[in-house]
Amino acid sequence: MAKEIKFSLVYRDMWQSSGKYVPRVDQLERVAPAIVSMGCFDRVETNGGAFEQVNLLFGENPNVAVRRWTAPLRKAGLQTHMLERGLNALRMNPVPADVRELMFRVKKAQGTDIARSFCGLNDPRNLRLSVEYARKAGMISQAALSVTHSPVHTVEHYLGVVDQLVDWGADEICLKDMAGVGRPTALAELTAGIKRRHPQVKVQYHGHCGPGFSPASMLEVARAGADYLDVAVEPLSWGKVHPDVITVREMLRADGFLVKDLNMDAYMEVRRLTQEFIDDFLGYWINPANARMSSLLVGCGLPGGMMGSMMADLKGFQAAINASERANGKPESSLDSLMVQLFREVEYVWPRLGYPPLVTPFSQYVKNTALMNLLALAGGKERFSTIDKDTWGMILGRMGRLPGPLAPEIVALAKEKGYEFYEGDPQDEYPDELPRFRAMMKEEGWDCGQDDEELFELAMHERQYRDYRSGVAKERFNKELEELRAKAGAPITVTRPVVEMPAFSVEEVAARYPHAVPVQAPVRGILRWEYDVDDASSAPVTGTPVRAGAAMGYVDAYYGREEILPAIDGRIVAVTAKQGAAVVKGQIVAFIQ
């Protein structure tokens, strides 16, 4: 009898891979019946990842959103699943164990059936508690492998991780091919290996289109025994997102697999509503480049969703790199040339940093190091002259065990700086915090909510939750949307904030101080060198001493304040963005030497 392949609609990740926000809860409730009526899905990815945060950012309660969004799907017999980041749970930094445990209890109570848990480093230690807590809460534990292509990420390497996760109780395994660079034959071999060793374990494949391997990978893993495939629907399929269910379904049916029928009228309704949500407000934060695939991603292995921010970084660095190249008698580089150089530098840096899978946040760490190397090389300096604090945390093992060995020059550099490598369990560094957050709730006069869900939101996203409760988040979001609509007029276009003219141009400073190290804005927002300065004066003054890792200024982002952290000790030689200026992530705002 032919094997049946089941489909999961990744309606959350479709949006997260395309732009900044997801639909409001009323929009999700409108599209849910059409998703059910399509008839071809057994699962829908409903929440997790950044879903909770973006609800808070536009002033909605994510707990209400999850309950109301999952209810009609589960009533129709579809399973719902979420994505969580293991040690980091639903945010970008580590989470105490008691908060992680509460998350699974809350999400199960809210109607989420399956917890897809991944560690960007594939360190099983970061997933052990996720497996334990998910099963304890009554959820299906689906442990995910962060799939990439490198000499150390062999089938045997991944099977060793799978063996450990299954021993701990994982019910399912997801092959999370976040950049779409997994090679189809290797993925098939891995799937077959999992099924051979653990025949009771369900396997689900999640692959982004990116460089174009995904459809072939889907066919190969299906032939090798996979049970579920993640798919998308227009207008958010293909590009840097996921293959469309129509194509995947027809491909599998032609290969002899059993697949459920698809109601095309319902498909067109999901398509129409999704476009309506884009036209309503979501499209103002969607980069059109995400609709295009690129074979350039094959070599560097970076996730396609990073292309937009990476090109913005390159534009911000182009003037400084060109100035250094001129000062050293080299020809200037075009933006296209710099892009190729950056891809090649990522290929150079990645193995030397231990081959961390290029998924958030490790993809950013590798890319940032490569970018700083390009600037150093253009100025006649050595590679790895500048490595930021977070990247050092990864290198030193504080986020988990790297899959490959560090290059000798990186180890020597760490010793030269007096850094110590950490061999312990990363979770041990973060003590329990729920009692503290319970006291906060009581102090504020806030109810902990049904199943302690409000307590969970405060503990997981304290800053964003407070802005939501105060009404600041909704006010900020509405103001930003109003400004974007006014700038765009009738059609929705990709917009970027207008950056104030700097005190000195980046090019001028780079030419004057060829050995200076640039300081970048950590996020998009309003630059605040000093909080008690209201005018647009350039502050701080040149000559001001700064320390590596200590805040030298701030950026007011849409969700709160982020520190500007220099990578080295030194003194400010120039400021290239004024107090109160609108800046973008990666923009050079100062130079230190």
Clarify whether residues 322 and 270 are in a common domain: no
Evaluate the omega torsion of the peptide bond into residue 235 and state whether it is cis, within 30 degrees of 0: yes
Clarify whether residues 310 and 254 are in a common domain: no
Return the pLDDT at 50.
85
Return the pLDDT at 306.
64
Clarify whether residues 357 and 286 are in a common domain: no
In a domain, 485, yes or no: no
Among residues 428, 454, 484, the one where a domain terminates is: 428
Counting Cβ atoms within 10 Å, is residue 584 exposed (0-12), middle (13-18) or buried (19+)?
Answer: buried
Among residues 382, 410, 428, the one where a domain terminates is: 428
Rounded CA separation 233/219 (Å): 18
Clarify whether residues 154 and 238 are in a common domain: yes
In a domain, 493, yes or no: no
**Residue 529 belongs to domain spanning:** 506-592
Among residues 290, 324, 344, the one where a domain terminates is: 290
In a domain, 73, yes or no: yes
Clarify whether residues 224 and 319 are in a common domain: no
Clarify whether residues 192 and 265 are in a common domain: yes
What CA dihedral angle connects 57, 58, 64 and 70, to 10 degrees? Answer: -90
Return left, alpha or beta for 460; rule: phi > 0 is left, psi -120 to 50 is alpha, else beta: alpha
Q: Which two tokens stand for residue 176?
A: 């999370």
Q: Which two tokens stand for residue 66?
A: 């999850």
CATH code of the domain in which 524 resides: 2.40.50.100
CB 131 within 8 A of CB 193: no
In a domain, 438, yes or no: no
Clarify whether residues 367 and 316 are in a common domain: yes
Return the pLDDT at 536.
45
Nearest CA to 305 out of 211, 196, 434, 184 is that of 211
In a domain, 470, yes or no: no
Rounded CA separation 427/98 (Å): 11
Clarify whether residues 129 and 246 are in a common domain: yes
Return the pLDDT at 535.
45
Return the pLDDT at 298.
85
Clarify whether residues 142 and 282 are in a common domain: yes
Q: Which two tokens stand for residue 274?
A: 């999704």
Rounded CA separation 212/88 (Å): 29
Rounded CA separation 124/146 (Å): 11
Q: Which two tokens stand for residue 214?
A: 């995904």
Clarify whether residues 327 and 286 are in a common domain: no
CB 67 within 8 A of CB 105: no
In a domain, 103, yes or no: yes
Q: Which two tokens stand for residue 46?
A: 């409903």
Degrees, nearest 5: CA angle 169-148-351 = 115
CB 125 within 8 A of CB 424: no
Q: What is the pLDDT of residues 312-338, one digit of tens each?
A: 677 777 877 887 778 778 888 888 888
Counting Cβ atoms within 10 Å, is residue 312 exposed (0-12), middle (13-18) or buried (19+)?
Answer: middle
Rounded CA separation 372/370 (Å): 6
Rounded CA separation 311/297 (Å): 13
Q: Within 10 A of 349 (CB to CB), how many other CB atoms are there? A: 23
Q: What is the pLDDT of residues 171-227, one digit of tens each?
A: 999 999 999 999 999 999 999 999 999 999 999 999 999 999 999 999 999 999 999
Q: Which residues of 66-82 are buried (b: 16+ CB within 10 A; e: fewer)?
A: bbbbbebbeeeebbbbb
CB 548 within 8 A of CB 567: yes
CATH code of the domain in which 193 resides: 3.20.20.70
3-state secondary structure (DSSP) of residue 510: helix
Return the pLDDT at 502.
41
Clarify whether residues 327 and 281 are in a common domain: no
CA–CA distances in Å: residue 528 to residues 277, 488, 561: 34, 27, 9
Q: What is the pTM of this model?
A: 0.83
Q: Which two tokens stand for residue 93?
A: 């930094």
Give the residue ranges of the chain where pLDDT is below 50. 490-502, 532-538
In a domain, 539, yes or no: yes
In a domain, 497, yes or no: no
Clarify whether residues 62 and 175 are in a common domain: yes
Compute the half-sphere exposure of residue 422: CA atoms within 13 Å on the CB side of its CA: 16
Q: Give how many domains the chain has, as a whole number.
A: 3
Return left, alpha or beta for 49; rule: phi > 0 is left, psi -120 to 50 is alpha, else beta: left
Return the pLDDT at 508.
66
CA–CA distances in Å: residue 237 to residues 18, 77, 231, 351: 10, 24, 8, 32
